[in-house]
Structure 1
Amino acid sequence: MHHNFTLHWIVDVAFFLGGSVCHQLPQHSLHPGGHQLPLCGRCTGIHFGLWMGLWFLLFLRRRKLGIVPNWKVAGAVALSFALMAADVFTGALGLQPGLNETRLATGLLVGYSLSLLIGPVLAGINTQEATKSTLGWADLGVGFFLTACLWPLIFYAPGWMFYPITILEGLSVIGAYAIVWGVLIAYTLFAARNRPTPWWLWAGGGAAISLTQAVLMGALRIRLGI
């Protein structure tokens, strides 16, 4: 009984956090084992694509990262967003049924593309150099391939993966907010003090603000009934 209560509580928290960034429409969401995930198919793709991309770039391609994207990176990002926009608008206009298969796929592409922009910013914390990216087609291709490998793992996830994915999605909402706020803190303090900002300060500050933001946005959504 206690075990089931704990699992239900975890799911409720994840859905509360997910509600701060996602509409959570059942028909737009994936259902491992018949249970709806906290994020819709598109948001699920964006979040998992983002973290896969950040892992790949920061740990395997860090030396090639630069704040200023080269034309290859810019082109990959533009193409990914164009594909998502096409999927959204053609579905809204009734030109195609709007499938969770394409929602997840375009979400993964955009999530990885966001990592191409966010990764260099994270790698550039406490530096003054505005270096240019040296990522090539091979680098981008490997990253996109790794991200694409997530599609079948998520879309065809068995029932036992519902809870792990749910927990990861709840944590991802906090983590994504934390990156944004942490970067703002790090760069602002570095510019003001002209010396490195300790990692625990910008990471901890970003996490605290992100948790507060997610709670407030989730509570507001409940209050407004949306």
Structure 2
Amino acid sequence: MLGKISYNKHFEDIYYCVRIISRFFCHRIPERTFHVKGRYFPVCSRCTGLYIGAFLYLIYVYFNYVNYSRLLILIAILITIPTILDGLTQFIGSRESNNSLRFGTGLIGGIGFAILIKGFNG
């Protein structure tokens, strides 16, 4: 029982720190954020997708060689466009997105942004 209590306290401390840090990178509007058992994710649905997409791509390139050609850079730019359009059209008020769409566009956008970062940083 004592182990479970310290684990939960440790998890609570980590969760609190992540939420504080994430304020600088994400709006974290509750209606635009996934939640599990009443607990909101530290970042919104789009940012969740961005981080997961970038992380998955970085895992992929760790195990596989990727040639950062001009074509791949162009593809990376193109796959970030849906993320930018989804965020921009929602920001200017022309439409309302939903969390699934935010996550999906964020996921492919995260892959695109990771390709661009890796491609330009070598």
Give the TM interval when normalised to the shorter protein: 0.7 to 0.9
Identity over aligned pairs, percent: 25
The letter of the residue matching 1:65 is N
Judge conservation of contact 1:47–1:108 (CA < 8 Å) in 2.
Answer: yes
Judge conservation of contact 1:46–1:109 (CA < 8 Å) in 2.
Answer: yes
Aligned to 2:55: 51
Judge conservation of contact 1:57–1:65 (CA < 8 Å) in 2.
Answer: no
RMSD: 2.0
Aligned to 1:78: 77
Q: 1:23 aligns with which of 24, 27, 40?
A: 27
The letter of the residue matching 1:96 is R
Moved over 4 A (4+): none
TM-score (ref. length: structure 1)? 0.47
In the aligned structure 2, how far is the partner of 1:121 from the partner of 1:77? 12
In the aligned structure 1, how far is the partner of 2:38 from the partner of 2:7? 20
The letter of the residue matching 1:6 is H
Aligned to 1:91: 90
Of structures 1 and 2, the larger Rg is shown by 1
TM-score (ref. length: structure 2)? 0.81
Shift of 1:16: 1.4
For structure 2, the residue ranges without an aligned partner over 5 or more in a row are none
| C-alpha distance 97-121 of structure 1, shift in aligned 2 (>3 A) | closer
Judge conservation of contact 1:65–1:119 (CA < 8 Å) in 2.
Answer: no
In the aligned structure 1, how far is the partner of 2:116 from the partner of 2:97? 28
Aligned to 1:65: 67
Is 1:108 matched with 2:107? yes
